[in-house]
Structure 1
Amino acid sequence: MKLAILLCALLLTSPARADWKPIEKIETYTVSGQSAEQLYLSIGEKGPVVGAAGSGRRVIAHTFFKLTWQRDYQSQGSACVLKSARPKLIITYTLPKPAGKLDPALQARWDRFAAGLIAHEKVHGAGIIDMVDRIVAFSTGLTAENDPGCKKVRAELTAYLDQLSRAQRQGSRDFDSKEFGQDGNMLKLIAAFLGGG
């Protein structure tokens, strides 16, 4: 499956995580219905809202992350060295969940649909983890001469974080465009769920 191959490729290109691990959580929102069509309509009504306040749109599933840091800046003479940067990354996947028991045939269709959704969202998660790994690799040992207040190091780090964050968001948008585009995995997944394939 293309999703699995892409996920493996993303994980293999990540620098090794030395002393941190992401925390991954799944949250659900309840959908109702006793047919694939009813469940999918409920997703459209209750799915998570993404985008700016007031102009957001509902999506089937969503990946959100919260990233905080413990950074150890040290002065060495007139230089500043960022000795370590330890992230705390929490990734939350939001997915639909039927409110009640489904008949066995519909449950089987739902299970295939749900597996495809989490596989898609996990690729987004892998991209976030890769970004954090790259930040750790860049940060650790970052040094600036004549920087007693660590302003140069902080400015260089901030510029890199901005660049990497923009690249991660663009990569995520590009992935979604492909997945939801013609012959994309997500369109096929939705069609199979609604069509009973």
Structure 2
Amino acid sequence: MKRVSYVLGMGLCLGFTPTAQAQWKPVERIDTYAVNGRTGIDLYRSIGEHGPKVSLGRTIAYTTFDLKWSRKYVPEGGGCRLASARPHLIIIYKLPKPSGPLPPETQRLWDKFIKGITAHERVHGEMILDMVKKIEATSIGLTVADDPGCKKIRQELTTRLAALSNEQRRKSREFDKVEMSDGGNVHRLILGLVNG
């Protein structure tokens, strides 16, 4: 199981076959944590107190995933070929949710805020999905010579997948940097919630 988090606040052009993609679909799951308050500023303070702990502090929301693979390695002519690689992907969004009803004006502010935060996190989810498609494309058909026990192919695959994973992380960090900079989308969403 591989679990990687891309955190709000912290901060490949291989094709894939439509047939292979049609055989699986990711599962998306939304987990929430409770926040309290009757005003936008109170809700934001509660996010700061109750938000998920990551790295150096707390965050508003984050996207993570659980990725497992069903792979079929086939010894061929003294080498080994990866005949199939089917992902089992769960994309998990962790988002804040008010613990009770909000006054109408605060509800309006919250709805706009959480809609924007959710959209931001879904971009991270799309980046994860794109990475998995690229992993699938680079995996299926991979062949390593002189590998009758199908051991070398696993090392080669790990090297290739690490590059794809690192690229996805870099893109995610760059996206967060833009979104959370002064005047960035997330920055504006926070100001809209806090200042009305």
Give the TM-score, by structure 1 length: 0.88
Q: Give how far 1:151 is off.
A: 2.1
Q: Which residue of 2 aligns with 1:41?
A: 45
Offset, 1:14: 7.2
Q: Which residue number corresponds to residue 3 of structure 1?
A: none
Structure 1 residue 120 displacement after superposition: 0.2
Distance in 2 (alpha carbons) for counterparts of 1:152 and 1:158 = 10
Deviation of the 1:183 alpha carbon: 1.8
Give me the whole-angstrom Cα distance separating, in 1, the residues matched to 2:57 and 2:131.
Answer: 26
List structure 1 segments (4+ residues) > 3 angstroms apart after TM superposition.
13-16
> Does residue 42 of structure 2 align to residue 23 of structure 1?
no
SS, match of residue 136 in structure 1: helix
SS at the partner of 1:162?
Answer: helix
Amino acid at match of 1:184: G
Q: Identity, % of aligned pairs? A: 51
Offset at residue 78 of structure 1 (A) = 0.7
Unmatched runs of 5 consecutive residues or more in structure 1: 1-12
- 1:25 positional shift: 0.3
Question: Post-superposition shift, 1:149?
Answer: 1.2
Contact 2:128 2:168 in 1 (8 A): yes
Q: How does 1:65-76 map to 2 (within 5 A)?
A: 65-76=65-76
Alignment of 1:72-87 (within 5 A): 72-87=72-87
Counterpart code for 1:98 = P
Of structures 1 and 2, the one with the larger relative CO (CA 8 A, separation 6+) is: 2
Contact in 1 for aligned 2:71/2:86 (Cα 8 Å): yes
Which residue pairs with 1:10 in the alignment?
none
Aligned residue pairs: how many? 180
- Per-residue CA deviation, residues 125-174 of structure 1 (Å, 9 max, x unaligned), is 00000000000000001111221011221111000111111111111111
Q: Provide the C-alpha distance between the structure 2 equivalents of 1:187 and 1:95, rounded to a whole number of angstroms.
A: 17
Query: Which amino acid is the alignment partner of residue 145 of structure 1?
Result: A
**Which deviations, in whole Å up to 9, do the C-alpha atoms of 1:86-141 show, x marking residues without a partner?**
01111110000001111111111101101001000000000000000000000001
For 2:103 and 2:137, locate their aligned partners in 1 and report how far apart those are by CA, in whole Å: 50
Cα displacement (A) at 1:18: 2.9
| Secondary structure of the corresponding residue to residue 40 of structure 1 | helix
